[in-house]
Amino acid sequence: MKRIGIADTTFARVDMASAAVRSLGATGTGYRLYRRTVPGIKDLPSACQALFREEGVELALALGMPGKAEYDKTCAHEASLGLQQVSLLERRPILECFVFESEAGSEKQLARLATRRAEEHAENAWNLLFRPRALARRAGTGLRQGFADAGPARPVS
Amino acid sequence: MKRIGIADTTFARVDMASAAVRSLGATGTGYRLYRRTVPGIKDLPSACQALFREEGVELALALGMPGKAEYDKTCAHEASLGLQQVSLLERRPILECFVFESEAGSEKQLARLATRRAEEHAENAWNLLFRPRALARRAGTGLRQGFADAGPARPVS
Amino acid sequence: MKRIGIADTTFARVDMASAAVRSLGATGTGYRLYRRTVPGIKDLPSACQALFREEGVELALALGMPGKAEYDKTCAHEASLGLQQVSLLERRPILECFVFESEAGSEKQLARLATRRAEEHAENAWNLLFRPRALARRAGTGLRQGFADAGPARPVS
Amino acid sequence: MKRIGIADTTFARVDMASAAVRSLGATGTGYRLYRRTVPGIKDLPSACQALFREEGVELALALGMPGKAEYDKTCAHEASLGLQQVSLLERRPILECFVFESEAGSEKQLARLATRRAEEHAENAWNLLFRPRALARRAGTGLRQGFADAGPARPVS
Amino acid sequence: MKRIGIADTTFARVDMASAAVRSLGATGTGYRLYRRTVPGIKDLPSACQALFREEGVELALALGMPGKAEYDKTCAHEASLGLQQVSLLERRPILECFVFESEAGSEKQLARLATRRAEEHAENAWNLLFRPRALARRAGTGLRQGFADAGPARPVS
């Protein structure tokens, strides 16, 4: 039984964790879930560290939704660097799943995008732990999460 | 009895620490406070490290108020990265509560915003330590500190 | 027998790993390959760490293709910092081979550029491990990967 | 007898170290000084590390003067991040005292500003080590170094 | 006999290492040189780490020449952060000597600037190891490498 961690925030405007949980359930079995909710994205690295150290999870999903302001980009950057750092310190992968409010034109689109991206990153999480060859088979094929895949570039002729 | 640390600065133009202390007192009991005041926000990471190592606090509130100049944004960014780093090195959460002078239109608004944000982050601190489920119940609901909550985005129909 | 790691992504739109493998085969022998495919470039540092720790590789090639959006530059920057960090933590070199979608004018050019750059970085990887003097002999001569070499600047007369 | 370190550069155009030394002398006693001069601000983190490890100082003052070019801002940012890092690695505070050439309108102003800021940071250094309550009493009062204090914002009415 | 390391790149368009070697020879004796050539500036941190760990050098000179594109500035920034990091991890100074292609108007100027800057940083390296007081005597005097010195600002009258 593998352990998967989910860290999310009260700042986000969509319940991305529930979408991730549903998606994991639809993708496969063999895991147990642990969860931490923190105020904002800058608190996610510490939450992931707690999931690794206190719950023994092997992989963490970090779900966050930076706001629309210019400053929110800086916060997201800082959070990302913290997530990288804790992943390397604890030697465990973290899949960062951020949705910027500015990516969507309406609240409805925002909810849809955040839901879809969380679902697809959850699927990636399951594959990384249980079926890494599924990822290797799709290397370099232009996959995207939340939006349509870009697809492979036309090969050199 | 849990230990909570508060680090603040002489640079800030509002006594955010007093607001945080009052808010903690109104939120709950079961903790003891430790405090360090340093010159500016870039000194906060070192102050938090001292609170963790010398006072044994389990969580630190880092209160700061970057100035209006462009360079102050860089300083805030550097301070944030330092706070992330010390949080991960010491394996303890730090709630960063920064108020940019440029967020407020007047001194009065600035004082109000800084006071309110410090209060709400202090409440978050107490919840993280004593009632983590209170945060989990509000995951993805668009909470904000110092301003009105953004609220949840309308669900996918 | 030395061990070389290759980390790549499903996000990239060109199969750079295959190009690197072919190029290594054409450059020399004496090595065994290990590979990890992850969703995006921010997952490459963790993948390289796994290659170092779990497979014992002595050098890793990190292959990635950031997208066209402004935000993708930030992601690439974060991934680069993570790659630096893991290289220093694990005390092993990582050759970062990133191709930005915006470097190419068409999909065909993109495929060609990504293929060529991966090939040339693979050659560098082999030289670093087996023939470091080949690099020393070309120090300061303006070599490039994927594009034509810039060549040495005209000497001081 | 406490040990205080001073790190400065040959790049700076004002002898800030002498100003700091004078100011420390006027503020109090009970300390011994150690000094390292390096070429530029990016060398200050390594100099501070040497002061901590080889001289056993308990606090370091890092004095620097970034130039006027855009690139100098990047260098200052990198130096600041290095100073944060070494402070946390060695678990000792570093007071960063940087004066940007562009902050002053003339060489005379530059000399005055650099001198005054070094003096005031030296005073902060002494207080941090010997009289931390002096800082706590002035928390949130808008102190500045080198320029006039901003003062506290008007309280919430 | 002290050990000095030199790390340089095949990307640079000027053989800065030869200039540094000549300058060290003209400045003093008492050292032995070790060298690593890597593809680009982002590979310099790993090369310096190898020089520290495998060759036991006490100081490293990191020579690099970022290209003209906007992206090259980002690469230089990442390389600088990596150099800071390895310097602090290994507790040894690294003198970074970067010359941006955009600093020079012609190839001839570029060669001259790169040569001169490498020479002057090599002299700094020798002084740091063998004659640190020579640097202390010139603290705050506005020295530059590769260009004319800025000189001290006029003192406060």
| Cβ-defined contact of C154 to E111 (cutoff 8 Å) | yes
Q: Do C39 and A85 lie within an 8 Å CB cutoff?
A: no
Q: Return the residue of D nearest to B8 by Cα.
A: D139
Residue D156 has pLDDT above 70, yes or no: no
- Whole-angstrom Cα distance, residue A12 to residue B141? 6
Distance CA D109, CA D103 (A): 9
Q: What is the mean pLDDT of chain A?
A: 96
CA of A114 to nearest chain C CA: how many angstroms apart?
17
Q: Do E82 and C77 touch (CB under 8 A)?
A: no
User: Do E78 and C81 make contact, defined as CB atoms within 8 angstroms?
Assistant: yes
Q: What is the mean pLDDT of residues C50-72?
A: 97
**Cβ distance of A85 and B85 shorter than 8 Å:** yes
Mean pLDDT confidence for D4-18 = 98
d(Cα A107, Cα E135) in Å, to the nearest integer? 61
Q: Which of C109, C119, C116 is nearest to C148 (CA)?
A: C116
pLDDT of residue D36: 98
- Quick check: A138 contacting C, CB < 8 Å? yes
Is residue E148 less than 8 Å (CB to CB) from chain D?
A: no
Residue of C6, C23, C43 to mutate for A, most A C-beta atoms under 10 A:
C43
pLDDT of D155 > 70? The answer is: no
User: B57: which residues sit within 8 A by CB, 6+ positions away?
Assistant: B3, B4, B5, B34, B51, B92
Q: Which residues of A touch B96 (CB under 8 A)?
A: 42
Mean pLDDT, to the nearest integer, of E58-72? 96
Architecture of domain D2-136: 3-Layer(aba) Sandwich (3.40)
Q: pLDDT band at residue A156, thresholds of 50, 70 and 90? A: very low
Helix residue ranges, H only, chain D: 16-27, 44-54, 70-90, 107-130, 132-136
- What's the CA gap between B148 and C127, in Å, rounded? 59
The confidence band for B154, taking pLDDT boundaries of 50, 70 and 90, is confident
- Phi, psi torsion values for D35, nearest 5 degrees: -135, 145
Predicted confidence at residue B82, as pLDDT, reads 98
pLDDT in tens, A83-124: 999 999 999 999 999 999 999 999 999 999 999 999 999 999
Asked if C17 and A140 count as a contact pair (C-beta separation under 8 A), the reply is yes
The shortest C-alpha distance from A79 to chain C (Å) reads 10
> Phi and psi for D73 in degrees, rounded to 5?
-65, -40
- What CA–CA distance (Å, rounded) separates B150 from B131? 23
The average pLDDT across A135-157 equals 89
Structure-block tokens of residue A121: 């990153």
Distance from CA of D83 to the nearest CA of E (A): 9
Q: Which amino acid is at D123?
A: E
Partner residue facing B88 (CB), from A74, A89, A108: A89
Closest CA to D47 of D17, D73, D27: D17
- CA E105, E107, E110 angle in degrees (round to 5)? 70
User: E138: nearest CA in chain D?
Assistant: D10
Does chain E touch chain D (at least 3 C-beta pairs within 8 Å)? yes
ipTM value, please give it.
0.96
CA distance B19 to B122: 9
Assess whether pLDDT exceeds 90 at residue A149: yes
Contact E138 D49 (CB under 8 A): no
Go through E74-108 and write b for each residue having 16 or more CB atoms within 10 A of its CB, e for each that does not: bbbbbbbbbbbbbbbbbebbbbbbbbbbebbeebe
Q: Does B73 touch chain A (CB under 8 A)?
A: yes
A30-78 confidence digits (pLDDT tens): 999 999 999 999 999 999 999 999 999 999 999 999 999 999 999 999 9
What CA–CA distance (Å, rounded) separates C7 from C38?
8
| pLDDT band for position E155 (cuts 50, 70, 90) | low
The arithmetic mean of pLDDT across residues D21-50, rounded, is 98
Chains A and C touch (3+ CB pairs under 8 A): yes
Average pLDDT over residues B68-94: 97
Residue B145 in 3-state DSSP? coil
* Residue C155 binned pLDDT confidence (cut-offs 50, 70, 90): low
Mean pLDDT of the D102-116 span: 96
CB-CB under 8 Å, B38 with D141? no
Our CA-based measurement puts residue E122 at a distance from the nearest CA of chain C, in whole angstroms, of 17
Read off the pTM: 0.96
User: Model confidence over B10-41: pLDDT tens digits?
Assistant: 999 999 999 999 999 999 999 999 999 999 99
* Rounded Cα distance, C140 and E118, in Å: 12
Q: How confident is the model at residue C125 (pLDDT cuts 50, 70, 90)?
A: very high
Query: DSSP readout, E59-119?
Result: EEEEEE---SSHHHHHHHHHHHHHHHHHHHHHT--EEEEE--GGG-SSHHHHHHHHHHHHH
Reduced to 3 states, what is the DSSP secondary structure of residue A148? coil
Q: Are E8 and C138 in contact (CB under 8 A)?
A: no
Position B45 scores a pLDDT of 98
Query: Which CATH superfamily, name and number, covers C2-133?
Result: Lumazine/riboflavin synthase (3.40.50.960)
Q: In the predicted model, what is the mean pLDDT of residues D84-94?
A: 98
Q: What is the pLDDT of residues E27-49, one digit of tens each?
A: 999 999 999 999 999 999 999 99
Contact list in E for residue D73 (CB cut-off 8 A) is none
- Structure tokens, B108: 């009065």
Say whether residue C37 is in contact with chain A using an 8 A CB cutoff: yes
Q: What CATH class has B2-134?
A: alpha beta
Q: CB-based contact (8 Å) between E153 and chain D?
A: yes
Determine contact: A69 vs chain B, CB below 8 A.
Answer: no
The C-alpha of E25 sits at a distance from chain C's nearest C-alpha, in angstroms, of 20
Summary mean pLDDT of chain E: 96
Q: How confident is the model at residue D154 (pLDDT cuts 50, 70, 90)?
A: confident
- In this predicted structure, the answer to whether residue E156 has a pLDDT above a threshold of 50 is no
Question: What's the pLDDT at B155?
Answer: 63
* Contact call for B and E: 3+ CB–CB distances under 8 Å: no
Q: Which of D89, D119, D121, D143 to mutate to test the interface with B (most CBs of B within 10 A)?
A: D143
